[in-house]
């Protein structure tokens, strides 16, 4: 049994929010139990600690700041790459990334590394975030999204150090790491000292990815491609460009999204024009709006009419143009 001192220390550290102390005491108890011949109790305690550390993205041995978990969002996406509607060339390049990942050991034997540091660039709502999720799903790894903005604003002055911790995790815990809205450090304008900070962060990011030799995949996504520093591109193994959907892609997107709600006689091709200049995300939302409308109002035929879809697309376009000022 743990001593009463240990139990008291454990309770105190919990209520004081001192997670490092808590872990230390828990491990002391494990050692104590092991010595007393209770090997399985000791093993259980150690495994709880290990699991909690992994869940919170805390690295053993690193001077842990619990705030790191605030900047990282771990998910297990379910979309597949086949759900992504992009032009042929882009699809091939994505397939190549997966192919190289799957055969990374074979490549390694010949001194080659798989493409694993990828920059995604293009208009908002064209599937960049979705791509990172689909890659994670295809290779069966968790998606860890690094919230760039939090990283920069919350840790003003120590962002480079925080970034170092994130890269420590990238090394330690294989996964897909998405630096989403990468523009937050690439381009953001702000107060004078913030601009300087962004520069520093960007430079350390570049150094970190240059040095990274982990099993993880690092994906950065940006909407404001044109303004990004060209020094950035050279550090990535691949740069993929995302465009607004063309007529065929718009039709395919509507067909996929409406699914069973698609009225059989609906000629999507004639309608894709109403979706002109809208992004994949906007069209997806218009389809969802139309489905909801049908579900809530129509009693008999629960399918989407041409007029309804055109209305919803127009509505999206209005919102979109207002947003653009
Ligand atoms: N190329 C695409 N193919 C299919 N659906 C898409 C595509 N792009 C966006 N979407 C839909 O819009 C949503 C938001 O897109 P997202 O990946 O966040 O865009 P981005 O990161 O480029 O701004 C996705 O979850 C998906 O439902
Ligand atoms: Mg995105």
Q: Which ligand is nearest to the CA of 280?
A: 1
Residue 312: predicted pLDDT:
93
Nearest-CA residue for ligand 1 atom 18 is: 129
> Which residues, judged by CB distance below 6 Å to any ligand atom, belong to the binding site of ligand 1?
84-86, 124-130, 221, 242, 253, 280-281, 284
Pocket test of ligand 1: the residue of 86, 127, 220 to mutate, having most ligand atoms within 8 Å of its CB, is 127
Is the separation of the CB atoms in 27 and 49 below 8 Å?
yes
Residue 262 β-bridge partners: 304
* Among the bound ligands, the one closest to the CA of 77: 1
What pTM value is reported for the model?
0.76
> What pLDDT, on a 0 to 100 scale, did the predictor assign at position 100?
97
pLDDT at res. 64? 39
pLDDT number for residue 63: 38
Which pLDDT belongs to residue 128? Answer: 96
What does the block give as tokens for 114?
């798989």
**What is residue 218's predicted lDDT score, i.e. its pLDDT?**
96
- 19-35 and 39-55 helices cross at what angle (nearest 10)? 160
- In order of start, what are the domains of the chain with their CATH numbers? 4-55 (no CATH), 70-242 (3.40.50.300), 247-323 (1.10.8.60)
Measuring CA to CA, which residue among 83, 184, 208, 57 is closest to residue 138?
83
| Tens digits of pLDDT across the chain (325 residues) | 778 988 998 888 888 777 778 888 888 898 888 888 888 888 898 888 877 766 554 433 333 345 667 788 889 999 999 999 999 999 999 999 999 999 999 999 999 999 999 999 999 999 999 999 999 999 999 999 998 777 776 666 777 788 888 999 999 889 999 998 776 665 545 555 666 767 777 788 888 998 998 999 999 998 876 556 677 778 899 999 999 999 999 999 999 999 999 888 888 877 777 888 899 999 999 999 999 999 998 777 789 988 999 999 999 888 867 655 4
Sheet bearing 72-75, strands edge to edge: 72-75, 143-147, 176-180, 217-222, 117-122, 238-242
Q: How far does residue 210's CA lie from ligand 2's centre (Å)? A: 24
């Amino acid at each position: 049994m743990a001593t009463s001192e240990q139990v008291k220390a454990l309770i105190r550290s919990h209520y004081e929010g001192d997670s490092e102390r808590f872990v230390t005491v828990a491990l002391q108890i494990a050692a104590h139990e092991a010595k007393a011949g209770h090997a399985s109790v000791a093993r259980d305690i150690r495994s709880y600690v290990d699991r909690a550390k992994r869940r919170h993205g805390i690295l053993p041995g690193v001077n842990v700041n619990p705030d790191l978990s605030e900047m990282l969002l771990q998910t297990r996406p379910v979309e597949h790459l086949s759900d992504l509607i992009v032009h042929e060339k882009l699809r091939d390049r994505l397939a190549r990334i997966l192919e190289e990942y799957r055969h990374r050991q074979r490549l390694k034997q010949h001194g080659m590394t798989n493409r694993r540091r990828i920059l995604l660039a293009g208009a908002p709502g064209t599937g960049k975030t979705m791509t990172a999720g689909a890659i994670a799903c295809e290779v069966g790894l968790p998606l860890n999204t690094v919230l760039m903005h939090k990283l920069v604003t919350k840790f003003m002055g120590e962002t480079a150090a925080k970034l170092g911790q994130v890269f420590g995790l990238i090394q330690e815990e294989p996964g897909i790491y998405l630096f989403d809205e990468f523009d937050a450090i690439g381009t953001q304008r702000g107060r004078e000292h913030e601009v300087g900070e962004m520069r520093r962060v960007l430079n350390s990011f570049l150094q970190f990815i240059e040095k990274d030799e982990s099993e993880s995949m690092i994906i950065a996504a940006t909407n404001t491609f044109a303004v990004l520093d060209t020094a950035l591109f050279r550090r990535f193994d691949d740069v993929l460009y995302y465009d607004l959907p063309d007529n065929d892609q718009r039709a395919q997107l509507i067909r996929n999204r409406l699914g069973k709600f698609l009225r059989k006689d609906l000629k999507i091709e004639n309608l894709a024009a109403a979706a002109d200049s809208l992004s994949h995300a906007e069209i997806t939302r218009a389809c969802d709006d139309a489905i909801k409308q049908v579900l809530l109002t129509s009693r008999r035929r629960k399918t989407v009419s041409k007029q309804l879809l055109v209305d919803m697309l127009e509505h999206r376009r209005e919102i979109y143009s207002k947003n653009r000022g």
